[in-house]
Amino acid sequence: MENSSFDTLFLDRDGVINKKLEGRYVRNWQEFEFMPQALIAIKILSQLFNRIIIITNQQGISKGIMSENDLIILHQTMIENIQQVGGKIDKIYFCPHLEKSKCNCRKPKTGMIENAIKDFPEIRIKKSYLIGDSPSDIVAGKTMGLNTIKVDNIFTLYNWTEQIIAH
Ligand SMILES: [Mg+2]
């Protein structure tokens, strides 16, 4: 994959990998539901990209709706389900802070992406993509110079995957 045109894939979580819940947070595995065909998309993308990194705002932690440990357990189960279909996630970065906290990590800020670049200095920005469903994802991706793609319930991660493998 040395000459691959796809290096690193940054994925937002809620609304990209799993369905968002109306007006509340996904607190545990019982409340977690993959988006349609997201698992097969991640399997395909795992073969295409050198690494897949999730960057997710989770201010429910600072609101006391779930603990950091709840989130870590949820993510372990999510990763196991992805691995069972042959996909992989290299690392998950989450921001537990409140919107009003003025941290550097909550998207649209770029702290999580910058931390990923520190941890994986081989990341090639120009060959890397960020996929998100919120304006804050799009701002964060564009600020970092990533190829930035907006998805939603109509044009999903799977639809984008189909599009890039067709080319
Ligand atoms: Mg989202």
Q: Residue 19: pLDDT above 60?
A: yes
Return the pLDDT at 4: 76
Residues with CB under 5 A from ligand 1 (ion): 12, 14-15, 133-134
CA distance 59 to 66: 9
CA–centroid distance, 35 to ligand 1, in Å, is 12
- Cα dihedral value 16, 89, 117, 63, nearest 10: 60
Return the pLDDT at 1: 45
CA–centroid distance, 2 to ligand 1, in Å, is 31
Return the pLDDT at 3: 54
Q: Residue 2: pLDDT above 90?
A: no
The mean per-residue pLDDT over the stretch 2-19 comes to 91
CA–centroid distance, 50 to ligand 1, in Å, is 23
Each residue's pLDDT tens digit, 37-82: 999 999 999 999 999 999 999 999 999 999 999 999 999 999 999 9
Residues with catalytic roles:
12, 14
- Beta-strand ranges (E) seen in 41-165 are 51-57, 91-95, 129-132, 147-150
CA distance 45 to 52: 8
Domains of the chain and CATH, by start: 8-166 (3.40.50.1000)
CA–centroid distance, 130 to ligand 1, in Å, is 12
SS3 state at 149: strand
Give helix then strand counts, H and E, for the chain: 5, 5
CA–centroid distance, 76 to ligand 1, in Å, is 19
Q: Is the dihedral of CA 151, 118, 62, 88 positive or negative?
A: positive
Return the pLDDT at 167: 77
Each residue's pLDDT tens digit, 70-129: 999 999 999 999 999 999 999 999 999 999 999 999 999 999 999 999 999 999 999 999
Letter string b/e over residues 99-120, b meaning 16 or more CB atoms within 10 A of that residue's CB: eeeeeebbbebbbbbebbbeee
